[in-house]
Amino acid sequence: MDQTDSFPVKLYVYDLSRGMARQLSAVMLGKHLDGIWHTAVVVHGKEYFFVGEGINSCLPGGTPLGEPDSVVDLGITEVPAEIFMEYLTSLAESTYSSNKYNLFEHNCNTFSNEVAQFLTGKKIPSYITDLPSEVLSTPFGQALRPLLDSININPGGSNITGQR
Amino acid sequence: MADQGAADPGNNNNNKAEDSEGTIIKVTVKTPKDKEEIAIAEDASVTQFKEEISRRFKAKQDQLVLIFAGKILKDGDSLSQHGIKDGLTVHLVIKTAQKAGEGASAAASSSTSTPAASSSTSSPGTNPSSTAGSTGSAPPSTQTPNLLTGFGDLSSLAGLGMGSSNFMELQQQMQRQLMSNPEMLSQIMENPLVQNMMSNPDLMRQMIMANPQMQTLMERNPEISHMLNNPELMRQTMELARNPAMMQEMMRNQDRALSNLESIPGGYNALRRMYTDIQEPMFSAAREQFGSNPFSALGGGSDSGVQPSRTENREPLPNPWSPPNSSNPPESGGGTTGSTSTTGGTTPSVSNPLGINPGSLGNGMFNSPGMQSLLQQISENPQLMQNMLSAPYMRSMMQSLSQNPELASQVLMNNPLFAGNPQLQEQFRSQLPVFLQQMQNPEALSVMTNPRAMQALMQIQQGLQTLQTEAPGLMPSLMPGGMPGMPGGMPGMPGGMPGGMPGGMPGMPGGMPGGMPGGIPGIPTGGAMPTENPASSPSSAATNPAQQQLMQQMLQMFAGGGGGGVGGGGGGGTATTQTPEMRFQSQLDQLNAMGFINREANLQALIATGGDINAAIERLLGSQPS
């Protein structure tokens, strides 16, 4: 009775700085960063990401960021769409509601990581999840921290799971 | 189960952990909301595991969905089969209820679909409406599934990313899209399917009445139910809904009628009452659910929540030509309580919100061509400024910066533009608090959004420029000093600051709209410059040093501005103490190469245009025939 389908899971990675980080990060931070990464998980034909407003979804590549800078294949999952939506809804009520967004510690990449693990058991590449600590380890990052804490990223999409 | 029975016949199946022969492992079971550690036998089956889990999480076994490494754990499997070992994490999703299935087939398939996630996903309003939609007694059954598939198709056409497995999500998405995009609504209205539905007043009434908020509203105001029950009226309404132009016309008539009402003594209060009692709750109820109130979405497509569509939509399509203190026109419709006119902020005092001392406007910085074109851009597009300034991150950025001058100065110091010029740093550091204050000042901001103010500033600056070319004799009497360095550096600095920050900050650039980095370097400088002057001039008011500063600034302006980083936060052009000749050396050479051999004229032209070769050439050509 093997009726499980498998669905591919991909990680879309966007460089929010559009290349500027690669050029300017060494100058500004004293440390080289290849990009400021924003990620989203693409599964079941939709792209899911966590932003200031909450968990959001849209068609893959449908945010104003356009096409991803790179795509990481996370493997396949057997989790069907229904279960996944339930899971997301629960997340949206608990740990990923809109007020929980924190640019450094609980951001889109945190969400992508968690969802990736749920779906496939794998984590997302570490260079993405290490980014906040990299930045915070520079004096510049520390100085900017209070400012950045107040910023929420909202790159688009308007399908908030579990909100309103 | 087999080994259980064999190993311990006396024990019934309830005791999982002990009666198997394998070792006990501790597996973490993680739900979206919490996690628990469950001790289970290594070779237990998934069913046993689920039993244990159901006890711990207080859920039924068939509600449990276990996922490990991307695989769903089925009852017949064993834990070891999936490689579940001690210390690993298994994910759990607890299904909340029977779901009806995916997408548009949801309503069609099961009428008893109680999307039980309703408590978490959407407003309760949509729930009954979905059931109403699918089980509506009056409408022919063919219509209702069509309704949804109709919307579903439309939506996918519109690229809304439909196909969600949850009908309510679908509805919500629809609604949100509609709220934000009135054009889409009219597109939808044109869909014959929708029109069909709309022309069936019974169905509409069903849908409207199914909304519980609507129901409470109706109880409180029997007039509404009256209205809904009157088929003639409904039909008319539907007609209206279909035809937005007619709708607006009617709205306008209504508004006029209402405004007449207002003039009757006591009329205003009556209107107000009417609005708050009826309209407000109705609209808020309506907003929860698409289709229950065509008025709200169609009547002008207002996007400010409680904006009553009966009044003129005073949410201004921003009018750059009206004076920023656009008082609401006296013949406003009733219900002014709800409307908020938000054109670019407070009424800036016609006199000088920035305290710009006209005498000290030696803003050399303004002279650079980059700055000029920027200013032009701004005055042509006040929206740009407004948008940028009102962007929440901008606000919060300004706020944090002003609250924490340390932080700001640090940021500045790190800016490569400043790196080479400690003088500048000092100056800027001292000016920082004032600068930031000014940036916070809403009046300052509103001046920046006021295109006429910007234009005036530009004019002043142009005047100064002309003055400088006509009367260069002023130059020798001025001494370059510390100050000029500052105004010169200013453009670079604040320009560099927001320009630089995005590069270094995770996420920030993402928040910035597209053309911003071009705009930002200029704007804070624009704001900064005028604010610098009052900052500096009061401090040395009415004394000779003040005058000298004035002169210095004028010199600054003569020298063609600081030249640094305007319009891009680029290179550290802070050397303002060179003579114009030196500064324009390369341009002079170019002009020479082009055949303009009159060095003096070239220099004059270059000074006048601030180093802009093309403009200088035009000037030269223009002056030749004479």
Q: What percent of chain A has pLDDT over 70?
A: 88
Are the beta carbons of B70 and A164 separated by less than 8 Å? no
ipTM: 0.81
Which residues of chain B are within 8 Å of residue A91 when distances are taken between CB atoms? 32
- Name the B residues in 115-174 with CB < 8 Å from any A CB: 117, 120-123, 159-161, 163-166, 169, 172-173
Beta strands A54-58 and B71-72 are unpaired
Q: Supply the mean pLDDT for chain B.
A: 56
Considering only CB atoms, A82 lies closest to which of B74, B165, B396, namely: B165
CA of A130 vs chain B CAs: smallest distance (Å):
12
Check if the beta carbon of residue B280 is closer than 8 Å to that of residue B310: no
Q: Angle at CA B120, nearest 5°, toward A58 and B278? A: 95
Amino acid at B416: P
DSSP B377-442: HHHH-HHHHHHHHHSHHHHHHHHHHHH-HHHHHHHHHHSHHHHT-HHHHHHHHHHHHHHHHHHH-H
Which residues of chain A are within 8 Å of residue B164 when distances are taken between CB atoms? 46, 57, 85, 159
Amino acid at B207: M
Considering only CB atoms, A91 lies closest to which of B32, B72, B504, namely: B32
Q: Is the pLDDT of residue B421 over 60?
A: no
> One of A32, A44, A106, A108 is an active-site residue; which one?
A108
Which residues of chain A are within 8 Å of residue B163 when distances are taken between CB atoms? 45-46
Which residues of chain A are within 8 Å of residue B506 when distances are taken between CB atoms? 16, 36-37, 103-104, 131-132, 135, 148
- Chain B interface, best mutation among A50, A57, A84, A86, by max B CB count within 10 A: A86
> CA nearest A39: which of A92, A122, A113?
A113
CA of B4 vs chain A CAs: smallest distance (Å):
24
Give B565's pLDDT tier (boundaries 50, 70, 90). very low
- Chain A interface, best mutation among B65, B118, B120, by max A CB count within 10 A: B120
Nearest CA in chain B to A21: B503
Residues whose CB falls within 8 Å of the CB of residue B94, separated by 6 or more in sequence, listed in order: A86, A90, B31, B57, B59, B63, B64, B65
Check if the beta carbon of residue B143 is closer than 8 Å to that of residue A40: no
Phi, psi of B330 (to 5 degrees): -60, -30
- Name the B residues in 166-185 with CB < 8 Å from any A CB: 166, 169, 172-173, 176-177, 180
The gap between the terminal CA atoms of chain A, to the nearest Å, is 40
Q: For B485-511, what is each residue's pLDDT tens digit?
A: 333 333 333 333 333 333 333 333 333
CA of A131 vs chain B CAs: smallest distance (Å):
8
Least confident span in B35-39, B50-54, B206-210, B403-407: B403-407
- How many angstroms separate the CA atoms of B398 and B404, rounded? 10
Are the beta carbons of B416 and A27 separated by less than 8 Å? yes
* B219 vs A120: which has the higher pLDDT: A120
Q: Is the pLDDT of residue B121 over 60?
A: no
- Name the B residues in 396-415 with CB < 8 Å from any A CB: 396-397, 400-401, 404, 407, 410-411, 414-415
Which residues of chain A are within 8 Å of residue B177 when distances are taken between CB atoms? 158
Candidate ranges A27-36, A70-79, B462-471; pick with highest mean pLDDT? A70-79
- How many angstroms separate the CA atoms of B251 and B312, rounded? 8
- How many angstroms separate the CA atoms of B582 and B475, rounded? 16
Instruction: Give the per-residue pLDDT at A89.
Output: 86
Which residue(s) pair with B421 in the sheet?
none
- How many angstroms separate the CA atoms of B64 and B78, rounded? 16
Q: Supply the mean pLDDT for chain A.
A: 82
Check if the beta carbon of residue B518 is closer than 8 Å to that of residue A33: no
Count of A-B CB contacts under 8 Å: 199
Q: Which residues of B138-154 are buried (b: 16+ CB within 10 A; e: fewer)?
A: ebeeebbbbbbbbbbeb
> CA nearest B262: which of B226, B305, B306, B310?
B310
- How many angstroms separate the CA atoms of B427 and B419, rounded? 13
Tokens of B506: 């995770």
Q: Which residues of B311-328 are buried (b: 16+ CB within 10 A; e: fewer)?
A: bbbbbeebebeeebebee
Nearest CA in chain B to A151: B393
Tokens of B464: 């100064």
The 3-state secondary structure of B82-117, one letter per residue: HCCCCCCEEEEEECCCCCCCCCCHHHHHCCCCCCCC
* B516 vs A134: which has the higher pLDDT: A134
Least confident span in B202-206, B213-217, B229-233, B399-403: B399-403
Instruction: Give the per-residue pLDDT at B197.
Output: 58
Q: Is the pLDDT of residue A154 over 70?
A: no
CA of A83 vs chain B CAs: smallest distance (Å):
7
Which residues of chain A are within 8 Å of residue B57 when distances are taken between CB atoms? none
DSSP B123-137: -TTHHHHHHHHHH-S
Tokens 């979405």 correspond to B297
Candidate ranges A69-73, B252-256, B281-285, B606-610; pick with highest mean pLDDT? A69-73
DSSP 3-state assignment of B141?
A: coil
Work out the average pLDDT over B131-157. Answer: 37
**Rounded to an integer, what is the distance from CA B350 to the centroid of its chain?**
29
Respond yes or no: is residue A108 known to be catalytic. yes
> CA nearest B311: which of B293, B330, B295, B332?
B332
* B139 vs B194: which has the higher pLDDT: B194
> CA nearest B534: which of B465, B463, B438?
B438
Entry pTM? 0.36
- How many angstroms separate the CA atoms of B435 and B437, rounded? 5
- Chain B interface, best mutation among A2, A9, A17, by max B CB count within 10 A: A17
* B132 vs A32: which has the higher pLDDT: A32
- How many angstroms separate the CA atoms of B237 and B119, rounded? 32
Work out the average pLDDT over B53-61. Answer: 85
Respond yes or no: is residue A32 known to be catalytic. no
Instruction: Give the per-residue pLDDT at B196.
Output: 62
Q: Is the pLDDT of residue A30 over 80?
A: no
Instruction: Give the per-residue pLDDT at B505.
Output: 39
CA of B9 vs chain A CAs: smallest distance (Å):
30
- How many angstroms separate the CA atoms of A93 and A99, rounded? 10
Give A96's pLDDT tier (boundaries 50, 70, 90). confident
Which residue(s) pair with A51 in the sheet?
A54
Q: Is the pLDDT of residue B481 over 70?
A: no
Work out the average pLDDT over B599-621. Answer: 84
Give B212's pLDDT tier (boundaries 50, 70, 90). low
Residues whose CB falls within 8 Å of the CB of residue B200, separated by 6 or more in sequence, listed in order: B139, B143
Q: Is the dihedral of CA B316, B318, B319, B324 positive or negative?
A: positive
Q: Is the pLDDT of residue B445 over 80?
A: no
Q: Is the pLDDT of residue B33 over 70?
A: yes
Instruction: Give the per-residue pLDDT at B201.
Output: 59
Residues whose CB falls within 8 Å of the CB of residue B284, separated by 6 or more in sequence, listed in order: B213, B305, B306
Which residues of chain A are within 8 Å of residue B71 when distances are taken between CB atoms? 4, 77-78
Check if the beta carbon of residue B259 is closer than 8 Å to that of residue B334: yes
Q: Is the dihedral of CA B1, B5, B7, B8 positive or negative?
A: positive
* A6 vs B109: which has the higher pLDDT: A6
Tokens 């009553």 correspond to B308
Which residues of chain A are within 8 Å of residue B174 when distances are taken between CB atoms? none
Tokens of B163: 């196909």
Amino acid at B472: P
- How many angstroms separate the CA atoms of B15 and B211, rounded? 49
Cα within 13 Å of Cα(B283), Cβ side: 24
Q: Is B28 on the interface with A (CB under 8 A)?
A: no
- How many angstroms separate the CA atoms of B257 and B198, rounded? 27
CB atoms within 10 A of CB B25: 20
Instruction: Give the per-residue pLDDT at B89.
Output: 87
